[in-house]
Amino acid sequence: MVGPPERRLLEPWQDPKAQPYLRIERVTKKYGDVYAVDDVSLAIFQGEFFSLLGSSGCGKTTLLRMLAGLEQPSAGRIYIDGADVTDIPPYRRPVNMMFQSYALFPHMSVERNVEFGLRQERLPRAERSERVAEMLDLLKIAELRKRRPHQISGGQRQRVALARALVKHPKLLLLDEPLGALDKKLRENTQFELVNLQERLGITFVTVTHDQEEAMTMSTRIAVMDAGQIVQVDTPTGIYEYPNSRLVAEFIGSINLFDGKVVDRVGDEVLIEGAIGRPMRMRCLQPLALGTPVAVGVRPEKLRPCERYTDDGVNQVRGTVEDIAYLGDVSIYHVRIADGPMVEMTLANIQPRTEQALTWGQEVAMEWSPTSGVVLTD
Ligand code: ADP
Ligand code: MG
Q: Is the pLDDT of residue 28 over 80?
A: yes
* Angstrom distance (rounded) from CA 183 to CA 171: 29
Q: How many CB atoms lie within 10 A of CB 271?
A: 17
209 close to ligand 1 (CB < 6 Angstrom): no
CATH code, domain with 139:
3.40.50.300
* Judgement on whether residues 64 and 116 belong to the same structural domain of the protein: yes
pLDDT tens, residue by residue, 90-143: 988 989 888 766 789 999 999 999 999 899 888 999 999 999 998 898 888 999
Q: Is residue 78 assigned to a domain?
A: yes
* Judgement on whether residues 239 and 259 belong to the same structural domain of the protein: no
* Judgement on whether residues 240 and 274 belong to the same structural domain of the protein: no
* Judgement on whether residues 226 and 323 belong to the same structural domain of the protein: no
Query: Which residue among 189, 224, 246 closes a domain?
Result: 246
CA of 242 to the centre of ligand 2 (A): 26
Q: Is residue 11 assigned to a domain?
A: no
* Judgement on whether residues 349 and 214 belong to the same structural domain of the protein: no
59 close to ligand 1 (CB < 6 Angstrom): yes
Burial of 327 (0-12, 13-18, 19+ CB in 10 A): exposed
* Judgement on whether residues 86 and 133 belong to the same structural domain of the protein: yes
pLDDT tens, residue by residue, 47-101: 899 999 999 999 999 999 999 999 999 999 999 999 999 999 998 898 988 876 6
Query: Which residue among 246, 277, 308 closes a domain?
Result: 246
CATH code, domain with 350:
2.40.50.140
CA of 78 to the centre of ligand 1 (A): 19
Q: Is residue 129 assigned to a domain?
A: yes
Per-residue model confidence (pLDDT) at position 43: 97
Range of the domain at 239: 18-246
Q: Is residue 3 assigned to a domain?
A: no
CA of 117 to the centre of ligand 1 (A): 28
Crossing angle of helices 125-138 and 154-166, rounded to 10°: 140
232 close to ligand 1 (CB < 6 Angstrom): no
Report the nearest atom of ligand 1 relative to the CA of 208.
2
Per-residue model confidence (pLDDT) at position 3: 47
* Judgement on whether residues 113 and 235 belong to the same structural domain of the protein: yes
Size (the chain), residues: 378
Average pLDDT value for residue range 270-287: 90
Among protein residues, the one with the nearest Cα to ligand 1's atom 1 is: 57
Total number of domains in the chain: 2
Q: How many CB atoms lie within 10 A of CB 58?
A: 22
* Angstrom distance (rounded) from CA 60 to CA 68: 13
Query: Which residue among 222, 246, 270 closes a domain?
Result: 246
Q: Which ligand is nearest to the CA of 37?
A: 1
Q: What is the pTM of this model?
A: 0.87
* Judgement on whether residues 209 and 279 belong to the same structural domain of the protein: no
* Judgement on whether residues 105 and 195 belong to the same structural domain of the protein: yes
Q: Is residue 2 assigned to a domain?
A: no
- Distant-in-sequence, close-in-space partners of 360: CB < 8 Å, separation ≥ 6: 321, 322, 323, 324
